[in-house]
Amino acid sequence: MQSAVLAAEQQAEAAEQGTLRDGLTGLDNRRGFEQNMQVVAGFTDRYNIPLSLMILYFDNLKDINDAQSHSAGDAAIRKAADILRQHTSSSFEALIAGAVRTVTVRPPARFEGGDEFAIPLVGVEPEAAMSWWEDVRSVFMQQGIVMSAGLATYYPHPSIVNDSARYVLDQASQALLTARQEGDRLVSVSNSD
């Protein structure tokens, strides 16, 4: 009987994980991303550290799908996810609230129709986020992947503290829209703080 209950609990947990993950890449999907952002934003609010969010748009995905096939497009999406996973699966030491703490950078998420990725960068100022992006973008370019990016950085503020995840997402989305309107391969940085 206990094994049946345990099996049912494991199936329920696997089903829940399936609703939080993108089937093609294994990254968080939009729902998983939003749950993660609530945790991350709460952490940055609690310790009064910045939260940068970068949203990437896969500029040449349609070209790959049209010229090669949707299977090739899927392979390119998986490759982009692998590159992002390699460049975000790290942890670092940070001085937070007077104590050295280990901050783990969670993997990115894939959402918004599959041609966008979102990467929360905890405790990262805009200049460091841009430096990180230049490194990642050069790897994408070597693989024939063209991305535009929108970046926003949230600094904890009492008037936003309960909605900081939505705030930084809205700002990064607007920055991405600006980058896409100006042309492929660009990055736009939100001017708000």
Instruction: Report mean pLDDT in 10-residue bins for the chain, 193 residues.
Output: 47 54 93 90 87 93 95 95 85 61 69 86 85 90 94 86 85 92 74 52
Any domain includes 18: no
Which domain CATH number covers 41? 3.30.70.270
Number of domains in the chain: 1
Residue 100's pLDDT is 63
Residue 56's pLDDT is 95
Any domain includes 156: yes
Any domain includes 20: no
CA–CA separation, 191 and 128 (whole Å): 16
Residue 122: count other Cβ atoms within 10 Å of its Cβ: 21
Any domain includes 2: no
Any domain includes 9: no
CA–CA separation, 14 and 29 (whole Å): 15
CA–CA separation, 178 and 43 (whole Å): 29
CA–CA separation, 99 and 93 (whole Å): 10
74 is in which domain, residue-wise? 28-189
DSSP 27: S
In terms of Cα–Cα distance, which of 102, 166, 92 is closest to 128? 92
Strands (E), 15-115: 51-58, 91-96, 99-104, 109-111
Q: What 3-state DSSP class applies to 111?
A: strand
Whole-model pTM: value is 0.81
Any domain includes 6: no
Residue 106's pLDDT is 61
Any domain includes 169: yes
CA–CA separation, 24 and 18 (whole Å): 11
Any domain includes 165: yes
